[in-house]
């Protein structure tokens, strides 16, 4: 039973990170489609997704990160 609980927790965390990464990508795509240049690395997107999944980033911090991605030229 314990191994199932550990496996389920790991799977849940993985899906949460994947969902957050997808969300960051969709947000960046929306900004790009809106005419704002968006520049970020895969590592930056993954790091942001991980921070969101862990609950370390609130909506304002997320908006700030996305804004920074649009201000790079």
- Maximum C-alpha span of the chain: 52
pLDDT value at residue 13? 56
Provide mean pLDDT across the span 15-22. 72
Mean pLDDT of the chain: 76
- Residue, of 54 and 14, whose pLDDT is higher: 54
- Averaged pLDDT, 19-33: 81
pLDDT tens figures, 30-51: 888 999 888 888 888 888 888 8
Closest alpha carbon to 59 in 33, 14, 20, 25: 20
Cβ burial of 17 (10 Å; 0-12, 13-18, 19+) is: middle
Give how far Cα 73 sits from Cα of 30, 40, 70, Å.
18, 11, 8
């Amino acid at each position: 039973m314990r191994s199932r609980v550990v496996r389920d927790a790991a799977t849940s965390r993985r899906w949460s990170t994947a969902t957050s990464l997808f969300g960051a990508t969709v947000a960046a795509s929306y900004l790009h489609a809106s005419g704002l240049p968006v520049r970020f690395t895969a590592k930056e997107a993954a790091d942001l997704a991980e921070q969101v999944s862990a609950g370390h980033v609130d909506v304002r911090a997320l908006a700030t990160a996305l804004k920074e991605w649009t201000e790079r030229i």
